[in-house]
Amino acid sequence: MNSEQAARLRAEMVERQLRGGGIRDERVLAAMARVPRELFVPAEMLSRAYVDGALPIASGQSISQPHMVAHMTELLDVRPGMRVLEVGTGSGYGAAVLAALGARVISMERLPELAEAARSRLAGLGLGLGLAEAVRVVVGDGSLGCPADAPFDGIIVTAAAPRVPAALPAQLADGGRLVVPVGMRAHQELVLVVRRGDSFEERDCGPCVFVPLIGEGGFSEPAPAGDSGSKPGRRRWFGRPHL
Ligand code: SAM
C-alpha cells in the first residue's frame, strides 16, 4: 500500500466507519484522518489496516478497532494542551490520535517490548507529523495510574478491568474524564467517570470487548499457553483479544 492509497482508505474509513457510525466530533474525525494507521499494524496485516476491526499485534495484544478509538476519544473530550494518561500503549496508535488532537500524553504499557516498538514507531511518525514529542511512553502497571505525573485532564484505559481501578479517579483533575472498559474478561461496558470536586459521576457508554488489564487494579496474569488454568489460585484465560 503506498501513501496515496493509504490516504484514500483513511478518508473512506473516516466517512463510512466513523462519521457513518455516529462519531460527531469533527476534531476527532480530523485527527483520525491524519494518523496513518497502516504504520501501526504488523506488515502481514497491512491490507487490513483500514478495515473496521481490531487487529493482532505482537505479544498476543491488539490494536483497537478504529470506531472504538474514535468513540473513547470523543468521550474524553480532548482539548489542545490537555494532559492525558493512556493505559495500554499497545501499538501506539491511540497515543498518536490523542497527540494529533493536541494532548500531551503519558502512555503506559506493561510489556517492555511493546513499549519500545511503540516508541520507535512514534519517533518515526514524529518526523512527518510532529507527534512524537507530545507522547511519553512509560513501562509499568498502568492500573495504578501514574501518581508522579497526576493530575490528568483525561485518562483512557484501553484494556478491560474487573472494576474501575481504584487509583485512577483520584488522579483526575477537577472536571477531568476517565474512560475505561469494565466487566468480565469476555465482555465489558465502557464506563465514563467525570470528576466534580470530590465527587465522581459515572455513566455507562455501551458494550465493548477488550484484552484484559493485567495488574494490581486489573485482572491477575493469564495462565501460560497450554496451562488449563485449573491449578488452585490460577485464573483461566478465556478472553480473546478483540479490541
Ligand atoms: N491503545 C492501543 C493501540 O492503539 O494499539 C491498544 C491497546 S491493547 C487493546 C491493550 C494494551 O494494554 C496491551 O498492549 C496490553 O499489554 C496493555 N496492558 C494490559 N494491562 C496493562 C497494565 N496494567 N498497564 C499497562 N498496560 C497494560
Full set of structural domains in the chain with CATH? 53-238 (3.40.50.150)
More confident residue, 123 or 11: 11
Q: What is the residue with the minimal CA distance to atom 12 of ligand 1?
A: 88
Residue 180: CB atoms within 10 Å: 28
pLDDT of residue 126: 66
Note whether 85 and 155 are within 8 A (CB): yes
Answer whether 121 contacts ligand 1 (Cβ < 6 A): no
Peptide bond between residue 66 and the one before it cis (omega within 30 degrees of 0): no
- List, for residues 220-230, the tens digit of each pLDDT value: 986 555 433 33
Task: Say yes or no to pLDDT of 233 above 50.
Answer: no
CA–CA dist 58, 113 (Å, integer): 9
Question: Relative to the CA of 54, which ligand 1 atom is closest?
Answer: 9
CA atoms within 13 A on the CB side of 25: 17
Q: Do the strands 199-208 and 188-196 form a parallel or antiparallel pair, or are they unpaired? A: antiparallel
* pLDDT band for position 81 (cuts 50, 70, 90): very high
Annotated active-site residue 64? The verdict is: yes
* pLDDT band for position 206 (cuts 50, 70, 90): very high
Query: In terms of Cα–Cα distance, which of 220, 164, 223, 160 is closest to 195?
Result: 164
Answer whether 37 contacts ligand 1 (Cβ < 6 A): no
Which distant-in-sequence residues (6+ apart) come within 8 Å of 113 by Cβ?
58, 59
Least confident of 10-14, 128-132, 229-233: 229-233
Which distant-in-sequence residues (6+ apart) come within 8 Å of 128 by Cβ?
none
pLDDT of residue 200: 98
Task: Say yes or no to pLDDT of 240 above 70.
Answer: no
Query: Looking at residues 197-215, what average pLDDT do you find?
Result: 96
pLDDT of residue 131: 72
Query: pTM of the predicted model, to two decimals?
Result: 0.91
CA–CA dist 127, 204 (Å, integer): 38
Answer whether 218 contacts ligand 1 (Cβ < 6 A): yes
Question: Relative to the CA of 243, which ligand 1 atom is closest?
Answer: 9
Question: Relative to the CA of 217, which ligand 1 atom is closest?
Answer: 23
More confident residue, 229 or 157: 157
Distances (CA, A) of 200 to 23, 71, 158, 176, 177: 25, 21, 20, 10, 10
Query: Looking at residues 19-23, what average pLDDT do you find?
Result: 97
CA–centroid distance, residue 38 to ligand 1 (Å) = 19
Task: Say yes or no to pLDDT of 125 above 90.
Answer: no
The pLDDT mean for the chain works out to 90
* pLDDT band for position 52 (cuts 50, 70, 90): confident
Task: Say yes or no to pLDDT of 241 above 70.
Answer: no
Query: Looking at residues 150-162, what average pLDDT do you find?
Result: 98
pLDDT of residue 226: 44
Residue 155: CB atoms within 10 Å: 28
Task: Say yes or no to pLDDT of 242 above 90.
Answer: no
